Amino acid sequence: MQLHKPTISIIMAIIVGILIFLFVIPKYQEFQDAKITLSKKQAEFNGESLYHGKISEIIQAISERKEVMDKVESSLPEESEIASLIYFFQKTSNETGLVIKSLTFADTPVSVPMVLPVKAGLRPKKAIKDVVFTINLSGGYQGLKSFLLATEKSARLFEVESIVLNPLQSGQTSALVKLPNYDFKLQVKTHTY
């Protein structure tokens, strides 16, 4: 039996078409799917690398500003450090020429609730405690002025709520300088977590 060339060509074309349909087209579709998946993964990787790059820049900027961040951290400490407050006031009063007669802390600190937004990733609720105390000082007006400036310039947040001036009785003036001395009573408030 002899087959004609046109018939053989048609049969061969049909067989090649079936083979292409069965083997090549599915592999081509897998290739296209893999190509799309690869481009998605590359885009995801590029996005993550940009994100990590920005995080690295932020960390570097924070580490460059470590001194400023430490000042912010010390202005509102986590715990009430009474000893450090007493030391600060003792040192500042000595530098400004005042004498601390007494330093009295309030019995119960006042708490003010601070609500932070939850979506910001911060702690949902934190109470800021107000630490109120009274300082009885003795000295001149210029010393009081210097003392108040020193507390204002300190890293810690202080609020002077009231000042009471009482002149000393006669005979209790400064021996070195003939300026009148006063008894000062300051009510001061600071904050802590």
Q: HEC profile for 132-179?
A: EEEEEEEECHHHHHHHHHHHHHCCCCEEEEEEEEEECCCCCCCCCCCC
The domain boundary, picked from 64, 91, 109, lies at 64
Give the tens place of pLDDT for each residue, 147-188: 999 988 887 888 889 999 887 765 555 555 556 788 899 999
Looking at the structure, tell me whether residues 116 and 155 fall in a common domain.
yes
Question: For residue 142, is it within any domain?
Answer: yes
What is the value of pTM for the model shown?
0.53
Question: For residue 71, is it within any domain?
Answer: no
Per the model's pLDDT, the better-predicted residue between 6 and 119 turns out to be: 6
CATH number of the domain that residue 131 is part of:
3.30.70.60
Average pLDDT along the chain: 80
- Supply the range of the domain harboring residue 38: 5-64
Q: In total, how many domains does the chain have?
A: 2
The domain boundary, picked from 17, 34, 64, lies at 64
**Residue with token string 């996005």:** 47
Question: For residue 85, is it within any domain?
Answer: yes
Q: In angstroms, what CA-CA distances link 172 with 42, 46, 62, 65, 178?
A: 83, 77, 53, 49, 11
The domain boundary, picked from 44, 64, 84, lies at 64
